[in-house]
Amino acid sequence: MPMAPSCSSIAVLVWADILAGYATWVMMTYLTNVWGLDITRAAAIVNVFVGLQFIMPVGMAFLVDAFLGHYRMLLLSSLACCFGMSLLAMSTPPVLSRYAGNCDAYRPNCIGDTQKALFYIALALIAFGISGHMTSLESFGNQQKELDQTPNGQVDLVRKLSGFFAVILLPIVGGIALPFINPWSVRFGIPAICTTIATFLFISGSPSYTDVEPQGSPLTTVYRVFVASASKMFYQWDANHQLYGNHQVSLDSVPQTPSHGNNQVSLNSVPQTPSLRCLDKAAMIVPTQTLAQQEQNRWKLCKVTEVEETKTFIRMIPMWATFIMCGVVSSIGATYFLEQANNMNRKVGKLKVPLPILLIFHDITKSASAKFYVKVVKMLSGKYAALIGMIAAMLFSILCCITAAKVETRRIDMIKSHGILDKPNEKIPMSMFWLVPQYLLLGALDGISGYLLGDRDEISGYGIACFFIGQIPASMSSFLLVCTRAVFGAGFVGSVLSVYVVGKVTERGGKPSWFQDTLNKSRLDNYYWTLAVLSSINLFLGILVAIWYNYQQSSIEEIRTPGYQESDVPYNDDAQCCCCCA
């Protein structure tokens, strides 16, 4: 039975992304071993790289909905990822040594300006490519399943093959086989070749795709509300001002020069919330112009529903912000945890275990914890289950930091007892598998938090997004996932700032900083204890914010009129703000 072309050519992008993810997960060890960077600078590069992957989809989702569409975004991001992985392989010392004039060994003195330039360009392209896939890959695949006339048997076959490759084959290749390849040029080159082939197969399947034109971005509504309210900032607000309401208003029913008396036409059919009253001016009909004149400019007049939906979106930001700390904790898994493992004993008997085996432990726990949380959600009511999940995620972040601190303390004692404090390249006689508990806790944190949410295994809609499903305006529901991921991306970038601040504070008074050039001389255990304290404070603040948020507003439906229903008409970004049907 032939496979559905559209489904299979899209699935190969997923497979290539997984393989590239395993290859780039060990970037920390590449920067410290080959480039000779200190651990803080290497961690900063990795965390900014990963953080941007999660932050950029917010802007990309706007471009997709307003201009590009999912197919064009996938095309651009796939090409970017293809070129990025190729440049990453080319940035290794042996590839361009003949042209760059450097040596071909994997040593710091063999990294010239050409290699550095290619490396940073490669990271930027890979980050753009992965962000584009995060934004459009799942949505585009769902569009094809809905619009293509493909037999269900063929779709099921593609799903089974996708599951086999994603769950079994690729972790074996990427997590076990690939790390045994010593030359970094080949280790990066194999994913580059696979990404190129996947991009070619995706492009070759273009005739079978059903492309959906962009319908306009709901974020435009948020921008319009801010612009409209700012344009009326000098107008005096009073209770008699008319507000443009839910329903289309006949121009004959509105006086050409609105009066402020008792005979005014009331256009406000939606209750207003008391917070963020400055935004209410976006729906205010100014008395100096006719309604017909104001309706012609959608950036100066918005409906009350649009203003209230914008308020709801803004009120969710404090709750989102409480999860930035979880992102900071998540960031240490592929940086400091990995660097610790790189300096520990990786042998089981005579077999040397590759580092990505820790990533497999993490991914298995992440998937299992997410599935377990789904069962909890189904047993409990959504609101309380979401709150429990949020608290559990923050508790796992605290436990992860405490466990990591204790293991690092033991590692430092082992270093001192064997007299290898000044020997950074000496392997520590302590098994790498001491780090497994903290990777398991990190996996539970990531699984429940859901910063890599998707529809696989029916996990979509749970995690920290579960709290916001009933809160976010229906018109902005497509941005729930990208905003959730962006929170963790901010945590990854914020971890760079946290390391800098902690380093500056600890070196005051002539004391040595907790972050030294080598891992052995650093005091990561103290840093982990600091993160545990900050995570505990964040848990307390998260509970307070959740209580405050529930008290202020529980759902956008509460601010809509009883008869309000969502329109089946696709969102049109070119339509005037005040002419949309309710």
pLDDT at residue number 247? 44
d(CA 484, CA 482): 5
pLDDT at residue number 283? 79
What's phi and psi for 165, nearest 5 deg? -70, -45
Q: Which two tokens stand for residue 201?
A: 């197969």
Q: Which of 50-64, 117-131, 287-301, 440-454 has the highest mean pLDDT?
A: 117-131
Burial classification of residue 157, based on how many CB atoms lie within 10 Å of its CB (0-12 exposed, 13-18 middle, 19 or more buried):
middle
Q: By C-alpha distance, which of 539, 568, 488 is closest to 58?
A: 488
Q: Are 252 and 289 in contact (CB under 8 A)?
A: no
- What would the mean pLDDT of 338-350 be, rounded to a whole number? 87
User: pLDDT band at residue 102, thresholds of 50, 70 and 90?
Assistant: low
d(CA 555, CA 196): 45
d(CA 279, CA 282): 6
Q: Are 260 and 287 in contact (CB under 8 A)?
A: yes
Least confident of 341-350, 356-365, 382-391, 560-569: 560-569
d(CA 542, CA 553): 16
Length of the chain: 582
Q: Which is more confident, 114 or 297?
A: 114
Matching residue, tokens 């005739």? 207
On average, the pLDDT of the chain sits at 76
SS3 157: helix
Is 267's pLDDT higher than 50?
Answer: no
Residue type, 470: G
Q: Which of 181-190, 305-314, 405-414, 568-577 has the highest mean pLDDT?
A: 405-414
Q: Are 446 and 362 in contact (CB under 8 A)?
A: yes
Neighbouring residues of 19: CB distance < 8 A, sequence distance ≥ 6: 170, 173, 174, 178, 190, 191, 194, 195
pLDDT at residue number 40? 92
Q: By C-alpha distance, which of 441, 182, 472 is closest to 311?
A: 472
Is 166's pLDDT higher than 70?
Answer: no
List b or e across 11-42, with b for residues whose CB sees 16 or more CB atoms inside 10 angstroms.
bbbbbbbbbbbbbbbbbbbbbbbbbebbbbbb
User: pLDDT band at residue 385, thresholds of 50, 70 and 90?
Assistant: low
Q: Are 6 and 208 in contact (CB under 8 A)?
A: yes
Q: Which two tokens stand for residue 463?
A: 């995690």
Q: pTM value? A: 0.80
Q: What is the pLDDT of residues 112-159, one digit of tens each?
A: 888 899 999 999 999 999 999 988 888 887 777 765 544 554 445 445
Q: Where along the chain do its domains lie?
A: 1-213, 219-312, 316-582
Q: Are 480 and 447 in contact (CB under 8 A)?
A: no
Q: Which is more confident, 245 or 80?
A: 80
| 3-state DSSP of 332-387 | HHHCHHHHHHHCEECEECCEECCCCHHHHHHHHHHHHHHHHHHHHHHHCCHHHHHH
Number of Cβ within 10 Å of residue 158's Cβ equals: 22
Assess if CATH 1.20.1250.20 describes domain 1-213.
yes
pLDDT at residue number 575? 36
User: pLDDT band at residue 331, thresholds of 50, 70 and 90?
Assistant: very high
Beta bridge partners of 459: none
d(CA 88, CA 392): 38
Same fold, 1-213 and 316-582: yes
Q: Are 62 and 219 in contact (CB under 8 A)?
A: yes
Q: Which is more confident, 152 or 457?
A: 152
pLDDT at residue number 556? 32
Least confident of 225-229, 331-335, 380-384: 380-384
Fold exhibited by the domain 316-582? Growth Hormone; Chain: A; (1.20.1250)
C-alpha Rg value of the chain to the nearest Å: 27
CA 79 to chain centre: 21
Is 161's pLDDT higher than 70?
Answer: no
User: pLDDT band at residue 7, thresholds of 50, 70 and 90?
Assistant: low
